[in-house]
Amino acid sequence: MRKKLPEPGQIEELHRVEEQLSLNPTVDGCLELADRYAELGMAKDAQRLIQVAELLEKDSVQTGNTTSDSLLSGSINPLMIIEVLQILARTRKSGELVLESTGQTFRIFFDRGQIINAHSTSEMPGITSFLMAIRIAEGTYRFRENNEIQIERLIEDKTDHLIMEAARLMDESTGESAART
């Protein structure tokens, strides 16, 4: 039996709904949209939204409510770093994303959804710190919103480009580790 293809416009509609949801993400909203993606056979998109819902739920359990000074927080896994960067870019948030791993702390600064700077305890500020931060395999992250961020802009690249580069580097490192096994 052949899988039914989505009707014209269904995918575009889901992307519009997801863009709206990114402005105020909720667990229920993410799960509902994940179901709609799954119905169309778009398993990767469905799984991605389930992971976002899990992050939101974990944050609300940890804080005891759904509002805290950390918009997003949780345990690091490489794919979730990309997802968090995308959420912050889509929602045009300003503030500081702190990534902590064994003995290292990285800070990625956002201004209205654009990555403008990155600092770390072991790397030069700017793009070098950003590229090292996205390679963290385990640890914790949290985002603190700050609409009046006052930090020098050292990263001029568009956030979309940086996210694509981050995904490319992760794919390369995954391929290298698979080749060693």
Domain boundaries defined on the chain? 1-65, 69-181
Cα–Cα distance, 79 to 171 (Å, whole number): 10
pTM, rounded to two decimals: 0.61
Task: List the pLDDT tens digit at each of the 181 positions of the chain.
Answer: 455 677 878 888 888 888 887 777 777 788 888 888 888 888 888 788 777 777 776 655 554 444 445 557 888 877 788 888 988 888 888 999 999 988 889 999 999 999 999 999 888 899 999 988 888 888 888 898 888 878 899 999 998 899 888 888 777 766 655 555 5
For residue 122, CA distances in Å to 2, 33, 127 come to: 53, 40, 13
